[in-house]
Amino acid sequence: HLIVTEPVAILKASEVWGALRGLETFSQLVHEDDYGSFLVNESEINDFPRFAHRGILLDTSRHYLPLKSILTNLDAMAFNKFNVLHWHIVDDQSFPYQSIYFPELSDKGAYSSNLIYTPTDVRLVIEYARLRGIRVIPEFDTPGHTQSWGKGQKDLLTPCYSGGQPTGSFGPVNPVWNTTYDFMAKFFKEISSVFPDEFIHLGGDEVDFSCWKSNPEVKEFMKKQGFGTDYAKLESYYVQNILDIVSSYNKGQMVWQEVFDHKAQLKPDTVVQVWMANNYAHELSSVTGAGFTAVLSAPWYLDYISYGQDWKKYYSVEPLNFPGSEKQKKLLIGGEACLWGEFVDGTNLTPRLWPRASAVGERLWSSSNVTNLQDAYRRLTNHRCRMLRRGIAAEPVFVGYCTHEAR
Amino acid sequence: AENEPSWETPCSKLLVYVSTPGCDGFPSLDSKESYKLSVSKGSMLLSAETIWGALRGLETFSQLVGRDENGTYYINETQIVDFPRFPHRGLLLDTSRHYLPLRAILETLDVMAYNKFNVFHWHIVDDPSFPYESSTFPELSKQGAFNAMTHVYTASDVSTVIEYARLRGIRVIAEFDTPGHTLSWGPGAPGLLTPCYIGKTRSGVYGPINPIVNSSYQFVTSLFQEVSTVFPDYFLHLGGDEVDFTCWKSNPEIRAFMVDVGFGEDYKKLESFYIQRLLDIVSSLGKGYIVWQEVFDNDVKLRPDTIIHVWKESNLQYIKEMANVTRAGYRALLSAPWYLNRISYGQDWIEAYKVEPLSFEGSPEQKALVMGGEACMWGEYVDVTNLTPRLW
């Protein structure tokens, strides 16, 4: 609750996080006149977010992102009232996370020895985010997307076979060995203590079954378990074990939608992230219909750049436009704009993410009836110039200028 | 030992030999940029006919130098004979849709040099803003720039760009696009643009330059007189693209003029009428000109040394256009498949790379008329915050 009158302005919030949001709003109310004086109009504001989970996904595996990039981005997130940094920290291409229990993972898996995040770096990100009211949810995506894990951890990934012989290449994490779960138990124990947020994202997307199918031990295991030829069951078997491990550390879990789609047994408070663009409204119905909380990313893959004012299409998404009861709709707790890293690093991250992500930010915070594109355009161009003044190299929305251009 | 690299006397000198002096001159379309580079034990020699070739050779040399794990710089023995396939290798920047601070332009010139580009096509003014400070018509930028104090290019800025480019063997070709794309010219030059009409009353909106009044031609004569002196390159780009006829059609004086001169309803003839007079003005100033393809498409009478800039891309029409332009005997520049402002997801450099500029049906003489091309970075969605990563 923000009241601006003479001679004082008062900001009231029940928690410090609300105060942070109110301070951001207050800072945006202050404007400069032609003589350089700072003014603020008498106002009274009662504000609250529509959705509780308003996130940005950054991918530091396809390209290493220098700390400065991540911290600048956290600043920009705060200016746009985002409150979750979904840190997709490792993947196939590189493993920059320096693990305390398993230093070989980054020793062998990072792009190079200086392109890593040390425990100090990680702590810095978490604290910088915390001071801005931003949760850091790390994602350690398994069993797919794990090529880089195999460099530093022998006998973790599944050896692929061809004609009865190992080919030398590897597939997803091997779900049939006990050592896999010993490793994961120890690894996630570390992650649970390093990252203070209640939730950890466990991934579970795009698991390619072909390597599993080629491996004799895996085939044998499938028979023993009675899974037949349904490898989705094997994937679920693996995922369920990881969910149990992570639960035992008192952490909640976020997963990509495949985990739900392939019918793994999820904990009741598992959050399902819906990312597949095709018919995502239907997926939201299914997920919430089954009683699970959902987070929407499908229409907000900001790495999919295209010519023109694409912010409009991100702004026009109505997350609750899916068939479902009131109760179901309450289970959609928010969304995340994703900036996958195949074509993104420190040289282009900020202009590519901002101000396009601002459209998502408003959609997730503001009321459902705030949809007018002309009005949004006017405020967005203004806000973009504001971000420039504050040192965020947000790219232009359209033709025009800011009085204070980027330096 | 036999197989160890012998780091003998480190090479410390690259001898540069240029046969034709010319350090104080400006590069041109005819400049020879060939060079020979010879690196062997005991001697490194770069030889070129002109200073411009030496610059290209120095760039290549700088790219040959490697660094080993110990930090030692090294270079392999090598023999290179190099020359460009096309003499006009350009980049277009648009400083009207968004103002680009000087440092952004200078940085672009540096990277152009790293990539052996040799033409900076400066699309300096357009509809949204007029940042060029004209000494003859100071009101143009005073009224037409986004901000006349902060978003302008002073005479000093312009000469800085020209010299910075020259030192890198880059020609600066300025484009003052007319008669369309001139909305920002209006406020500082009352009477220049065509007033549009709704019925019998002025709508308050303006269109392209008014082609039927002498004052327009006096104006462009004076402006191009200045521009011809400010920009030393032989060529000026005169634009001539996307002229919207609606305003002309709405204006009763223009309609009367069309009847008087027998143009009927063919406004392309009116456009040609303007362009022809403009071209005559510019050639009498001793400059050559480049025009966008519409000028050719609309049958304007052109000088034989006109260069046509092919930009329309839809349905690969540019391939036919290149054939038509060269068949008519004009030199051509290709930009159509290289509109780098049209971003898309993924490794789009591949599509740009695959373009074969001479893949049109024509005789060898025709193909020899292709001078080269230009990558265009139009500025609707681009300013200093995203220019460099979007271009390179």
**pLDDT reading at B3 higher than 70:** no
User: Using the beta-carbon criterion (under 8 Å), do A308 and B381 form an inter-chain contact?
Assistant: yes
- Region(s) of chain A under CATH 3.20.20.80: 49-390
Domains, chain B, ordered by start: 15-82 (3.30.379.10), 88-391 (3.20.20.80)
> How far is Cα A395 from Cα A387, in angstroms, rounded to an integer?
10
The residue of chain A nearest to residue B146, with distances taken between CA atoms, is A401
Between B128, B129, B344, which is nearest A305 by CB? Answer: B344
Average of per-residue pLDDT across B159-183: 98
- Report chain A residues whose CB lies below 8 A from the CB of B345: 303-306, 343
Average of per-residue pLDDT across A102-109: 98
- Region(s) of chain A under CATH 3.30.379.10: 1-48
Confidence of residue B103 (pLDDT cuts 50, 70, 90): very high
Quote the DSSP letter at residue B316: G
Using the Cβ of A226 and the Cβ atoms of chain B, whether some distance falls under 8 Å is answered with: no
Between A305, A399, A406, which is nearest B97 by CB? Answer: A399
Which one of A104, A198, A206, A318 is the catalytic residue?
A206
Tokens representing residue B376 in the block: 């265009």
Percent of chain A with pLDDT over 90: 97
Confidence of residue B5 (pLDDT cuts 50, 70, 90): low
User: Cα distance from B79 to chain A (closest Cα, Å)?
Assistant: 34
Between A393, A394, A398, which is nearest B381 by CB? Answer: A398
Q: Is B379 helix (H, G, I), strand (E, B) or coil?
A: coil
pLDDT tens figures, A21-73: 999 999 999 998 989 899 999 999 999 999 999 999 999 999 999 999 999 99
Which of B99, B100, B385 should one mutate to test binding to chain A, selecting the residue with the greatest count of A CBs within 10 A?
A: B385
Can you spell out the DSSP letters for B283-324?
HHTT-EEEEEHHHHHTT----TT-EEEE---GGGHHHHHHHH
Residues 129-168 of B with CB under 8 A from A: 129, 146-147, 150-151
pLDDT of residue B7: 56
User: Using the beta-carbon criterion (under 8 Å), do B384 and A400 form an inter-chain contact?
Assistant: no
User: Cα distance from B8 to chain A (closest Cα, Å)?
Assistant: 31
Residue appearing with tokens 């990252």: A195
User: Using the beta-carbon criterion (under 8 Å), do A399 and B341 form an inter-chain contact?
Assistant: no
**pLDDT reading at A191 higher than 60:** yes
CA A135 to chain CA centroid, nearest Å: 10
Tokens representing residue A389 in the block: 């003044």
Between B147, B385, B388, which is nearest A401 by CB? Answer: B147
Using the Cβ of A113 and the Cβ atoms of chain B, whether some distance falls under 8 Å is answered with: no
Please, what sign has the CA dihedral across residues A104, A108, A109, A111?
positive
Quote the DSSP letter at residue B11: P
φ and ψ at B15, to 5 degrees?
Answer: -85, 125
Mean pLDDT for chain B?
A: 96
Mean pLDDT for chain A?
A: 97
Give B25's contacts (C-beta < 8 A, 6+ positions apart): B51
pLDDT of residue A205: 97
| Residue B182 burial (C-beta neighbours within 10 Å; 0-12, 13-18, 19+) | buried
- Report chain A residues whose CB lies below 8 A from the CB of B379: 399
Between the alpha carbon of residue A385 and those of residues A396, A400, B145, B341, the distances in Å are 9, 11, 18, 21
The residue of chain A nearest to residue B103, with distances taken between CA atoms, is A407
Residue appearing with tokens 């009232």: A81
* pTM score: 0.95
**pLDDT reading at A168 higher than 70:** yes
pLDDT tens figures, A302-342: 999 999 999 999 999 999 999 999 999 999 999 999 999 99
The residue of chain B nearest to residue A346, with distances taken between CA atoms, is B389
> How far is Cα A138 from Cα A35, in angstroms, rounded to an integer?
47
φ and ψ at A251, to 5 degrees?
Answer: -110, 145
Quote the DSSP letter at residue A298: G
- Is residue A395 part of the annotated active site? The answer reads no
Average of per-residue pLDDT across B71-95: 96
- Report chain A residues whose CB lies below 8 A from the CB of B101: 405
**Catalytic residue positions of B, numbered:** 242
Confidence of residue A404 (pLDDT cuts 50, 70, 90): confident
A1-48 maps to which CATH number? Answer: 3.30.379.10
User: Cα distance from B154 to chain A (closest Cα, Å)?
Assistant: 18
Between A307, A388, A401, which is nearest B146 by CB? Answer: A401
The residue of chain B nearest to residue A347, with distances taken between CA atoms, is B389
Q: Which run of H or E residues covers position A272?
A: strand A271-274
Widest Cα–Cα separation across chain A? 82
Percent of chain B with pLDDT over 70: 98
Please give the interface size between A and B, counted as residue pairs whose CB atoms are below 8 Å apart. Answer: 70
Name the CA radius of gyration of chain B, rounded.
Answer: 24
CB-based contact B208:B247 (threshold 8 Å)? yes
Quote the DSSP letter at residue B365: H
- CA angle B205-B206-B210, nearest 5°? 155
User: Using the beta-carbon criterion (under 8 Å), do B147 and A403 form an inter-chain contact?
Assistant: yes
Average of per-residue pLDDT across A166-176: 97
Confidence of residue B1 (pLDDT cuts 50, 70, 90): very low
User: Using the beta-carbon criterion (under 8 Å), do A306 and B101 form an inter-chain contact?
Assistant: no
pLDDT tens figures, A341-376: 999 999 999 999 999 999 999 999 999 999 999 999
pLDDT tens figures, B191-237: 999 999 999 999 999 999 999 999 999 999 999 999 999 999 999 99
Using the Cβ of A393 and the Cβ atoms of chain B, whether some distance falls under 8 Å is answered with: yes
Average of per-residue pLDDT across A101-125: 98
pLDDT of residue A383: 98
> How far is Cα A175 from Cα B4, in angstroms, rounded to an integer?
48
Using the Cβ of A401 and the Cβ atoms of chain B, whether some distance falls under 8 Å is answered with: yes
Using the Cβ of A101 and the Cβ atoms of chain B, whether some distance falls under 8 Å is answered with: no
pLDDT of residue A405: 76
The CATH superfamily label for domain A49-390 reads Glycosidases (3.20.20.80)
User: Using the beta-carbon criterion (under 8 Å), do B386 and A393 form an inter-chain contact?
Assistant: yes
CB-based contact A231:A166 (threshold 8 Å)? no
CA A52 to chain CA centroid, nearest Å: 14
User: Cα distance from B83 to chain A (closest Cα, Å)?
Assistant: 32
Using the Cβ of A399 and the Cβ atoms of chain B, whether some distance falls under 8 Å is answered with: yes
**pLDDT reading at A130 higher than 50:** yes
| Residue B187 burial (C-beta neighbours within 10 Å; 0-12, 13-18, 19+) | middle
